[in-house]
Amino acid sequence: MGVIYGGRSGEHEISVASAASVVSHLDRDRYEAVPLYIERDGRWTIPDRPPSATSAADVIAKSRAEGARSGRTAREAYLVPHPGHENLLVINRDASVSSAGDHETGSVTSLGLDVVFPVLHGPYGEDGTVQGLLELANVPYVGAGVLASSAGMDKAVMKVLFAARGLPVVQYQLVTAAEWSAGRKFVCRRVTAGLGYPVFVKPVNLGSSVGISKVKAESDLAAAIDAAAGFDRRVIVEAAVPNAREIECSVLGNDRPEASISGEILPSGEWYDYDAKYLNESRTVVPAPLSPAQADEVRRLAVESFLAIDCAGMGRVDFLLDDVSGRLVVNEINTIPGFTTISMFPKLWMASGLSYPALLDRVIELALERHAAKQLLRTSLA
């Protein structure tokens, strides 16, 4: 089984921490894990050692200390984008050949992956790109397909699909790079008139609160949009929910998904930003202190959100609850949620009676089930 992690994303370190937890908890009597590490420059390799289980904070701290350097390995990996039994090519470079003018030598071997677990967060992994490659290779893989992965990563498209299904979402405005370049003052006035303050400014395609700012006045809006635009050509500005509580719910399944109990995030800071998620001591409360009616509504909306984007396998749906009015809105769905043992997705399922190893078994079973169903579809008119 291939476990893909790392990637060309601002969420690279979170992916490494999640993959380490997945690999360390797989049943070795049932699975032989093949770690496939995507370096920051997009190069696929098979590392000498699988990722070691550690906290996201430790991975981030180590990454920041080392900078952008990445340990090169002599083993490159290439997933072959066509159906076949040997779908992974491994090139073993001869590291001893280094003198100028010498031709690099090495050997090529092939492996067959029965199933792939993409433990990737953010662009070039969670957004449908890797899923498309896996579809071409006709390999079963854990999690959402191309469409749901793409829609789940794109906060603007996601909200359109949620609204079309009748799900409650916050007011928002989309700002493109072209609009921003053509008229910064006009965009700021438009946001102020349409949404007021405070607002959250986010890159459309990213997660883990990377590039997100909370803006309380128009004077700070331009800097926030510039920061978000450094990560994506499209920026979304969302009206803040007053008295907001952060509620999360995990979903498992394919055509008949089920929701876990819900949990609440108690951020260490003013809001649940990157540092609060991974570096500081934010707390979680499981189950979330909700009324029975609120808890049922969270679970219902979580399943509806999952179905709205045609998700599969797994997902974590995040909500904002106005603690005064009781208004509940769907914030977003994560198609490859964090997978460390302290991440909310597995934590909510563990609290619902499904252990971490059993959860891994379940998402792999769902991947094989979905793949088997797709093999029954016709691909020609003959």
**In-domain check, residue 74:** yes
Do 112 and 42 fall within a single domain?
yes
* pLDDT for res 210: 73
Tell whether 87 and 210 lie within a shared domain: no
Q: Which of 272, 250, 274, 220 is nearest to 346 (CA)?
A: 250
Task: Write down which residue in 239, 256, 287 finishes a domain.
Answer: 239
Are residues 118 and 231 part of one domain? no
CA atoms of 235 and 75, how far apart (whole Å): 38
Q: Does 170 score more than 90 pLDDT?
A: yes
Q: Which pLDDT does position 60 carry in this prediction? A: 53
pLDDT digits (tens, 9 = 90+) for 22-74: 999 999 999 999 999 999 999 999 998 888 766 555 655 555 555 444 445 66
Segments forming the whole domain that contains residue 64: 2-141
Nearest-5° Cα angle at 145, 70 to 286: 80
Q: How many domains does the chain have?
A: 3
Which one, of 286, 42, 335, 325, lies nearest residue 168 by Cα?
325
Q: Do 228 and 367 reside in the same domain of the chain?
A: no
pLDDT in tens, 206-265: 755 678 999 999 999 999 999 999 989 999 999 999 999 999 999 999 999 999 999 999
pTM listed for this prediction: 0.88
Q: Convert 127-163 to b/e letters by CB count within 10 Å (16 or more is b).
A: bbbbbebbbebebbbbbbbbebbbbbbbbbebbebbe
Which residue in 31, 38, 34, 41 sits closest to 15, CA to CA? 38
Instruction: Select from 239, 269, 289 the last residue of a domain.
Output: 239
CATH of the domain at 180: 3.30.1490.20
Specify whether the CB–CB gap between 59 and 17 falls below 8 A. yes
pLDDT value, residue 102: 54
